[in-house]
Amino acid sequence: MVKFIALLKSDMKYIVGFSLILLGGCVPVFNTGKDDSIIKKQIKNDSLNMEWHTYSSSFSATRNYITVRKNMKIDTLCISDNIADIQSDGTKFIIGFYGTPKLYTNKIKVPENIFGHTVTIDTTYVSDFKKNK
């Protein structure tokens, strides 16, 4: 037993060092300092820039969000997992959804206007997955 304790004390620095490396490698980094989203579609008007961001995923339900930028101001219009399309006719934005706007199983509320432009919701889109059933 005394030999085991002596061996443990002599190798303690290696055990502690290895444990710290192992634990440090297991902790995820949540803030990488960059946005990992992909811009799926972008609409530019005279003073507004609308972007539909998505994330690459092997799952069908991934979080998407739409941002609108005017001059130096930026606002998130909505975060949803069933966005189908975004369009603009110059004075209003049209956001298409596969059914009711939602994030996972929770219904979401989309603002009726942003930066003085009207937002219209179109819930008539049908996904290809549902068409093939």
Average of per-residue pLDDT across 40-68: 84
Q: Where are the domains of the chain?
A: 38-131
Mean of per-residue pLDDT scores for the chain? 80
pLDDT > 90: what percent of the chain? Answer: 40
pLDDT digits (tens, 9 = 90+) for 81-125: 999 999 988 778 999 999 999 998 899 999 999 988 899 999 999
Amino acid identity of residue 122, one-letter, is: D
